[in-house]
Amino acid sequence: MITEARGPRESQQPHSTGYEQLLEMVRYEGAYPTRERADEAVRLVLAGLGRQLTGDERVDLARCLPLEAARILTAQIPGPQPLTGWDFAKDIATRSGASLATTRWDIGSVFTAVSAQAGPLLITRILHQLPTGWALLFGQADLTPAA
């Protein structure tokens, strides 16, 4: 019997070293029991961020991330109106079927690792582009100017 030799499907291909390092950072930050659980969080949160982020900040962030993570981010079409940080967390929770507490944990774990790769200057630019509430998701104070 002759069978066609096929390589693994894209979802089964081994990840690059950079993506593996990102997963390990997220796994450590989130205290996830497995790399697969960290991968789920990364995919969910980066896809959500990809639906919010536009312009140079989106491009620059993609450049900072490993190729697999950049693809997850840039495969999404940004929505017409960016969500507040709270609405973003609710959207991710709805899409995943997880509780808001679990979702908030996932977001914080992924954004901590993303911040380490992107650096403070790019994260500041990203936060200036997005509505209120996002700084808290990135583990920063959400300072608003006095009226």
The amino acid that residue 128 corresponds to is H
Residue 144: which pLDDT band, with cuts at 50, 70 and 90?
A: low
Average pLDDT, integer, range 124-129: 96
Contacts with 114 (C-beta within 8 Å, 6 or more apart), sequence order:
46, 49, 61, 65
Percent of the chain with pLDDT over 90: 84
Q: pLDDT per residue over 49-71, tens digit each? A: 999 999 999 999 999 999 999 99
What was the pLDDT predicted at 4? 38
Q: How many CB atoms lie within 10 A of CB 99?
A: 10
What was the pLDDT predicted at 1? 39
